[in-house]
Amino acid sequence: MSKIIRVGVTFPPDLLKEFDEIIHEMGYESRSKAIQDAVRMYVSERKWLKEEGNQTGVLLMVYDHEARGLEHELTEAQHHHSNLVSSTLHIHLSERDCLEAIAVKGKASEIRKLSDELTTKRGVKILKAMIVSV
């Protein structure tokens, strides 16, 4: 069994209140378990930026479909990286906004290139990568 290490963490009161409300709604029995899960998620999210080898996951992107030429550029980027893209799901969020979920699998460095390429397109509002090592 691994050793447990205690640490002290300071929070602004409003953030701690929101955190406590959320973990209570979710059914956590302690802050410690919720904080451990949050830290694991953060580490996993940041770790893929440095890892090499094969990985798989989803790139979630929200964009303004009325931005001139953007849909064509997004399609071209995905075709250019067709060795990575397994599938795409397109969801209409509003009159202007669309969400695209792009399932990816391949070399971490290539997934990062695709992610960066999509993120920097004019009209892309946010791109969130959910990547796991395989």
Bigger pLDDT: 42 vs 25? 25
pLDDT digits (tens, 9 = 90+) for 39-84: 887 777 777 667 778 889 999 999 999 999 999 999 999 999 999 9
Tokens 């004019």 map to which residue?
A: 122
d(CA 111, CA 59): 9
Residue 133 has pLDDT above 80, yes or no: no
Distance CA 131, CA 134 (A): 10
Q: Is 134's pLDDT higher than 60? A: no
Superfamily of domain 54-133: ACT-like. Chain A, domain 2 (3.30.70.1150)
- Of residues 119, 88, 85, 90, the one with CA closest to residue 105: 85
Q: How far apart are CA 103 and CA 80, in angstroms?
A: 15
User: Hey, which residues does 131 pair with through a beta bridge?
Assistant: 57
Residue spans of the domains in the chain: they are 13-47, 54-133
* pLDDT confidence tier of residue 100, bands split at 50, 70 and 90: very high
